[in-house]
């Protein structure tokens, strides 16, 4: 029997994502000047106020207020009428030194023996239903908001947009788990005030359906374009007026959008957030590593859909175990347990090995903090960072290394494919 599946996304201007981006901007700046920095930074944003809290062990000194303000302005909160803008909001820092009790379990005489920064389980997932091996509903939800943000910055075709927005896509699947059509699309976008509410809502709906959606469709492969039809149910700003938004409308906190950050409800999630954590925290690094494994397994033909779980104990080097679920999609005679055993032979899942394999001790995290950490484009970019005392550093860094298909040949060889 056909079924419906839904995923959502939120924009870079959503209050929780503002918090994530500030936290990850701090991570990047610490790592740019001291690659061995240990950082756990939480951010709270509300009307006219930013609070930074967390623990840091680093040799560098940063102007955290400037970093927070620059991030807020880059997102687009630049006007006093938003009741939250980078130039005028208060920024309170309560960041202090990392606990020695935690640090002793992580730092060792040999980097290879680095212990996990915390206990817990992490999941990675991949499916062949899209070109980037991501669940389709989430991929479309992200794309809708990225294109909406592009329209906002262009300020040409739609001129009333503000930074805060959300999307949601519901897709109908057949009994073979193949997408058949899009059932519904939800878009809620913050906007400038209008004189007449009814006319405002009608214009926003028309612009989203007639301007935004065609731009989204144009970026999709032909097979996915066919999923869009005239029967889609559109819910555009379904609550009505959405002028008050961002941190003025809702308080934002780091780490509250963990499903948006990962797989939109597909697969599984261990519960740990990513943003604001340096890569010694396996909540982040091992989640990237399991995505890397899952994607390479699917690309190599081990299965059409794969879930990978790894678990750790704080301060312990080797993972507690690796679990694989192929959902019955493995095309050859091998159990999930046998696949998991081969995975342990191919991929070294010690924390330091993950950091080295995926080049995680680099300032690569600001780009992850909006529109998902998975399914993104692997590319090398040049970034510049400045310290309060005038030192400036320019680095070439490789983004989204966990999206590389660099282990496909090894996987094929190991599985005889």
- Over the stretch 72-130, which tens digit does the pLDDT of each residue have? 999 999 999 999 999 999 999 999 987 665 555 565 566 777 888 788 999 999 999 99
Cβ atoms 140, 216 nearer than 8 A:
yes
> Are 275 and 409 within one domain?
yes
* Contacts (Cβ under 8 Å, ≥6 apart) of 221: 131
Confirm whether 293 is domain-assigned: yes
Q: Tell me the whole-structure pTM to 2 decimals.
A: 0.96
Is residue 310 domain-shared with residue 230, that is, in the same domain? no
Number of separate domains in the chain = 2
Instruction: Please give the pLDDT value at position 350.
Output: 96
**Domain membership of residue 239 as a residue range:** 3-9+136-244
Residue 270 sits in the same domain as residue 410: yes
Has residue 350 been placed in a domain? yes
Q: Assess whether pLDDT exceeds 90 at residue 295.
A: yes
Tell me, yes or no, whether 211 and 181 share the same domain: yes
Contacts of residue 206, Cβ cutoff 8 Å, sequence gap at least 6: none
Q: Which three-class secondary structure state does DSSP give residue 328?
A: coil
**In a shared domain, residues 270 and 363:** yes
96 lies in a domain? no
Task: Give the pLDDT confidence of 211-224 residue by residue, as tens digits.
Answer: 999 999 999 999 99
Q: Find tokens 């000047």 and name the residue.
A: 33
Residue 199 exposed, middle or buried by CB count within 10 Å (0-12, 13-18, 19+): exposed
**pLDDT of the residue at 360:** 98
Residues 231 and 272 in one domain: no
Helix (H, G, I), strand (E, B) or coil at 349: coil
Task: Quote the pLDDT of residue 97.
Answer: 85
196, pLDDT greater than 90: no
Classify residue 208: in a domain, yes or no: yes
Q: What is the pLDDT of residues 329-338, one digit of tens each?
A: 999 999 999 9
* Cα 89 versus chain centre, distance: 26
Say yes or no: 146 and 282 in one domain.
Answer: no
Alpha carbon distance 100, 105 (integer Å): 9
For residues 399 and 333, membership in a common domain is answered with: yes
The average confidence (pLDDT) of the chain is 95
In a domain, 18, yes or no: no
Q: Considering the domain boundaries, does residue 317 fall inside one?
A: yes
Q: Of 174, 209, 244, which residue sits at a domain end? A: 244
Find the CATH number of the domain harbouring 152. Answer: 3.30.300.10
406 pLDDT higher than 70: yes
Residue 94 domain flag: no
Q: State whether 324 and 369 are in the same domain.
A: yes
Looking at 244, 278, 295, which one is the last position of a domain? 244
Q: Are 225 and 285 in a shared domain? A: no
**Residues 350 and 403 both lie in one domain:** yes
Query: Is the dihedral angle over the CA atoms 218, 222, 225, 229 positive or is it negative?
Result: positive
Polymer length of the chain: 417
Measured CA distances, 139 to 8, 75, 133, 273 (Å): 9, 21, 10, 20
Question: Could you give the CA distance from residue 149 to residue 155 in angstroms, rounded to a whole number?
Answer: 10
Of the candidate ranges 108-122, 187-201, 268-282, the one whose mean pLDDT is the lowest = 108-122
> Do 186 and 284 have their domain in common?
no
Q: How many Cβ atoms are within 10 Å of 196's Cβ, its own excluded?
A: 9
Give the CA-trace dihedral at 356, 358, 362, 365, to 10 degrees.
-150
Assess if residue 84 is contained within a domain: no
């Amino acid at each position: 029997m056909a079924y419906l599946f839904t995923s959502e996304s939120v924009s870079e201007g959503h209050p929780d994502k503002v918090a994530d981006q500030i936290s990850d901007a701090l991570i990047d700046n610490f790592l740019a000047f001291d690659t061995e920095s240990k950082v756990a930074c939480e951010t709270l944003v509300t009307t006219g106020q930013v609070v930074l809290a967390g623990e840091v062990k680093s040799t560098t000194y940063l102007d955290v207020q400037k970093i927070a303000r620059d991030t807020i302005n880059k997102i687009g909160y630049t006007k006093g009428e938003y009741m939250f803008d980078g130039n005028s909001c208060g920024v309170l820092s309560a960041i202090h030194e990392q606990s020695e009790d935690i640090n002793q379990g992580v730092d060792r005489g040999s980097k290879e023996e680095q212990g996990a920064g915390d206990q817990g389980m992490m999941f990675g997932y991949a499916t062949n239903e899209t070109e980037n091996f991501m669940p389709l509903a989430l991929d479309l939800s992200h794309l809708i908001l990225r294109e909406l943000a592009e329209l906002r910055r262009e300020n040409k075709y739609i001129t009333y947009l503000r930074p805060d927005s959300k999307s949601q896509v519901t897709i109908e699947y057949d009994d073979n788990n193949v997408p058949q059509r899009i059932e519904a699309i939800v878009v809620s976008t913050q906007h400038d005030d209008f004189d007449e509410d009814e006319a405002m809502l009608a214009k926003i709906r028309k612009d989203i359906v007639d301007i935004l959606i065609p731009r989204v469709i144009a970026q999709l492969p032909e097979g996915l374009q066919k999923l869009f039809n005239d029967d889609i149910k559109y819910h555009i700003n379904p609550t009505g007026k959405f002028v008050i938004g961002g941190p003025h409308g809702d308080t934002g906190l780091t780490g509250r959008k963990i499903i948006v950050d990962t797989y939109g409800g597909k697969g599984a999630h261990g519960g740990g957030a990513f943003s604001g954590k340096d890569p010694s925290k396996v909540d982040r690094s091992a989640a990237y590593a399991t995505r890397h494994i899952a994607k390479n397994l699917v690309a190599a033909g081990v299965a059409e859909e794969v879930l990978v779980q790894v678990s750790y104990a704080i301060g312990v080097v080797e993972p507690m175990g690796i679990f694989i679920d192929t959902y019955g999609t493995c095309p050859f005679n091998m159990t999930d347990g046998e696949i998991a055993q081969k995975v342990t032979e191919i991929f070294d899942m010690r924390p330091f090995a993950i950091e080295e394999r995926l080049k995680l001790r680099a300032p690569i995290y600001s780009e992850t903090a909006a529109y998902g950490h998975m399914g993104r484009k692997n590319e090398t970019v040049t970034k510049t960072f400045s310290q309060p005392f005038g030192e400036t550093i320019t680095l070439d860094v490789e983004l989204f290394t966990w999206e590389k298909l660099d282990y496909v040949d090894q996987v094929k060889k190991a599985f005889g494919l």
